[in-house]
Structure 1
Amino acid sequence: MLDLTKLTRQMQGLSQHLTQEATASRQRLENAQKYFQEACKSQQKFVKVQEKWRDRILFANATPVEPLHTCIDIPVPPKIHTVVATDGSQIAPNHHEIAYCYLLNIGRVVLHYGQNRHPLLDSLPEIFYRPEDLYVSRQWGIKTEEWMSYRRTASEAVVLSELAKNVKATLTDDIPALAMVDGSLIYWFLDQLPFDAREQILPPILEAWEELREAKIPLMGYLSASRSIEGMNFLRLLACPHNTPDCVSFCPNQMEKLPCKAFETLRDTTLWSTQLKPGQRSPLWRSNSRILDLYDEQRIYFCYVHVGAEIARIEVPAWVAENTAMFDLALGLMLAQVQKGYGYPVAIAEAHNQAVVRGGDRSRFFALLERQMIKAGLRNVGTSYKEARKRGSIA
């Protein structure tokens, strides 16, 4: 039980700390705005510097592919359209449960607008219990719980592609469709995976994206409350105190003391909240994350959109970003989803609701599993004493 009385004094210190942080953040923003104005005047110069020294720069930084001062109004989408989304949840393996296994549940949503068609809202559960599913990751030093989340990411992409293709086959050519996922399309965790482990996760995702490309269904990742600083890091090139941004030679183990760190903790969304009006997007950026070298032609581009309630980061593959008509249409459909969802895309929210495994679902899952085990002739089926004791209290 949480003792709120004992927390009171700590809360006072927390409020003072947050006040100081707010003041420092405003100062960083003012500093960043100055560099931003300078960057607008000499953008191509620093893009060339970035390209020349990219292998010597130690911080992740994106490349603007449109003028930095770009603020474009997002077009109104057609009334007749379809939006597809998936999201995933899971039941993690637990040695104290009646059986050591895990479950992935992928929520599926298809919303038709202006077509007088019923929506699809359901989920696809899959249970993993074989040794090759539970213990294959041990050879790479990856915990089963972590491997489960990686498998879920791949499953979300595969299910989204299959669902979108099936839906597209029922639509006429003049009805646009959009495939959406919650979160980033840049899977940072892949950078830490061994080659063999990565080969089981990334190829299915890229294949699914390629199928969407062939079906001409734009793919979009929606990031709410993004903490990315890739755009701000481009401004650090202007703040570099050296003639060239050669971090490897000039700044080994000194990054904490340099002027280019002055606004590093400032998020991209903070800057763009001062530039964009509701319904506008920022310029397109190309992410230069090293993990994207594994994506082949599926490089990731992003922009920021003022959706009304917040500044959202929108990510798309290169084949969407390079098709201006497709990209503009996708942004319009996205913004309509946010408006229908009162600040968050309704399709993604519903996909999450379909996927999420609540306490009652978990109990019913293990009850069903217990019946099947008893039916199969197994004895002494039940949770550990530790688990049983934690679920009840005599205090």
Structure 2
Amino acid sequence: MSIEFNKLLDQVRKMGAMISHLDFDMSDKLALACDRLYAADDLDVIRRKIAYVRGPEISGYRGAAPLEGPDAENLNWVYPPPSLPPHATLIASDGSQVYPNEQSPVHYYLLNIGMFVYQHGQDHVPQTITLPMLAYHKDIVHDRNHLLITNRTVDARRTVTEMQQLAQQAWKMHREGVRDPLVTLFDNQLLFWASADVTDGSKLLTDYWTGMGQLRDADAILGGYVDNPARSRQVLRLLYLLSLGDEADIKAHESQLASGGDLEGLRDMHLFDKVLEPGERSAIMVQNSPRNLAYRQKNGSFEIAFFYVKVANGYKTAIARIDIPMWVARERDSVNTLHALILDQCQMQGRTPYPYALARADELALVSGQDRRKLDELIRMELRKQGVEPGGAAPKLQSKRAARSDKRSFQSRPIRRAPSS
């Protein structure tokens, strides 16, 4: 049975009226955020407030902070598009997965990593690499309680594998003598963390850090491209902190530091879409969080910094957040190379400003529904060869499939009537 849309019309009208009111409220908040950003020109004042909220008296601040030392950039500065390097090698990686299925005759999961190697400024055909990996051993697909691993565990293993394969490819090219700027693009944020329901999470984090270290040792410029940073509020939290007065005032508003106080509801992307012109980037900042502190304590060069950039092509603009490790953040030439190449890549992508190399890596990594069905069939055929008959779908699943099918078949069966008494 389909939805009765006539019963939703009045609710949709009320929703539209509410959104119109909220949009007006957001415009006022956006103007306030812009004013605060333009006024944030004293790094000493900013650092004193950051030092206070990092102390034992305050908890819950997860906002941005300027870089420490002479490499710090003024928060209210914007940086124009830098010149493109004449040559560069760009490696982009992405991954996808097939999750384990409790209903399957054999438990397994699949990781498929795609990498795209692009030679900027050189007449070379791009290199494509795919690495499908099937995991099926019972100790790999089950946790210590012999339960099927969670989807989050598969996601975490995919993320770590992406970083490892990106590092191995960069190291291979480094050993082959590639001396042009070696830029590696990672799809999504760099601040990886394994949640409590991820099996062997601490080992995965160690493996991830090992991959980062290999990239650093290969002199690679690493950037994590966050295409739609709709949840990022680090800069707005900082601007709210800067609006507060002395330490007593900050303490009195401690409970609002996490939400952004009077800027709640805005996102960093709204602010920088207003502030930045196409091609410009924001100042480089770091996120103040226990997770990022763990990265820093592991190795100072692993701490994750970020900047926002307004990418563009001939059709539209978009705000992206670029995560960079500290070994990149403190090298202005590396930042400029990454900034310039991202802008150049985003101009290649038709109507969508998105890095060309990452788009190609995504296509290489994609596991389609047809691919999944073919893999299932290959596994079933192999089981039959081994004398194992794969089981069918559970009755509940069969019922759902029949109910949702556009074509239903009904088989008539002879009715057995009880004899009359």
Flag whether TM exceeds 0.5 (same fold): yes
Within a 5 Å distance, the mapping from 1:302-381 to structure 2 comes to: 302-308=306-312, 309-342=317-350, 343-381=353-391
Aligned length in residues = 386
Question: How far 1:106 moved relative to its partner?
Answer: 1.1
Aligned equivalent of 1:133: 140
State which of 203, 208, 213 in structure 1 corresponds to 2:206.
203
Alignment check: 8 A CA contact 1:82 1:176 kept: yes
Aligned equivalent of 1:60: 62
Aligned equivalent of 1:38: 39
Deviates more, 1:325-334 or 1:3-12: 3-12
Aligned equivalent of 2:414: none
Question: How far 1:20 moved relative to its partner?
Answer: 1.8
CA change 1:119–1:67 in 2 (3 A) is same
Alignment check: 8 A CA contact 1:168 1:215 kept: yes
Q: Deviations over 1:117-176 (max 9, x none)?
A: 23222421112222221222658x995211111111111100111122223344542x22
**Does 2:235 align with 1:231?**
yes
Question: How far 1:195 moved relative to its partner?
Answer: 11
Alignment check: 8 A CA contact 1:229 1:265 kept: no
Q: CA RMSD in A?
A: 2.6
CA change 1:384–1:341 in 2 (3 A) is same
The residue matched to 1:96 in structure 2 has which SS? Answer: coil
State the alpha-carbon separation in 2 of the partners of residues 48 and 214 from structure 1. 34
| Percent identical | 27
The residue matched to 1:234 in structure 2 has which SS? Answer: helix
User: Residue type of the partner of 2:188?
Assistant: G
* Structure possessing the higher radius of gyration over alpha carbons: 2
Within a 5 Å distance, the mapping from 1:153-192 to structure 2 comes to: 153-170=159-176, 172-173=178-179, 175-187=180-192, 189-190=193-194, 192=195
CA change 1:302–1:134 in 2 (3 A) is same
Aligned equivalent of 1:17: 18
Stretches of structure 1 lacking an aligned partner (at least 5 in a row)? none
State the alpha-carbon separation in 2 of the partners of residues 106 and 130 from structure 1. 20
State the alpha-carbon separation in 2 of the partners of residues 245 and 153 from structure 1. 41
The residue matched to 1:273 in structure 2 has which SS? Answer: helix
State the alpha-carbon separation in 2 of the partners of residues 380 and 197 from structure 1. 30
The residue matched to 2:378 in structure 1 has which SS? Answer: helix
Aligned equivalent of 2:102: 95
User: Residue type of the partner of 1:361?
Assistant: D
The residue matched to 1:341 in structure 2 has which SS? Answer: coil
State the alpha-carbon separation in 1 of the partners of residues 248 and 148 from structure 2. 40
Question: How far 1:196 moved relative to its partner?
Answer: 8.3
CA change 1:137–1:242 in 2 (3 A) is farther
CA change 1:264–1:380 in 2 (3 A) is closer
Question: How far 1:239 moved relative to its partner?
Answer: 2.8
The residue matched to 1:349 in structure 2 has which SS? Answer: helix
Alignment check: 8 A CA contact 2:64 2:286 kept: yes
The residue matched to 2:200 in structure 1 has which SS? Answer: helix
* TM-score of the aligned structures, taking structure 1 as reference length: 0.89
State the alpha-carbon separation in 2 of the partners of residues 380 and 112 from structure 1. 47
**Does 2:117 align with 1:110?**
yes
Aligned equivalent of 2:155: 149
Q: Deviations over 1:325-373 (max 9, x none)?
A: 1121121112111112240011111111111211101100100000111
The residue matched to 2:54 in structure 1 has which SS? Answer: helix
State the alpha-carbon separation in 2 of the partners of residues 24 and 131 from structure 1. 54
Runs of 4+ more than 6 Å apart: none
Q: Deviations over 1:286-340 (max 9, x none)?
A: 2212101221220011111111211211110000011111121121112111112
Stretches of structure 2 lacking an aligned partner (at least 5 in a row)? 67-71, 410-421
CA change 1:4–1:212 in 2 (3 A) is farther
* TM-score of the aligned structures, taking structure 2 as reference length: 0.84
State the alpha-carbon separation in 1 of the partners of residues 248 and 290 from structure 2. 21
Alignment check: 8 A CA contact 2:150 2:197 kept: no
Alignment check: 8 A CA contact 1:177 1:217 kept: yes
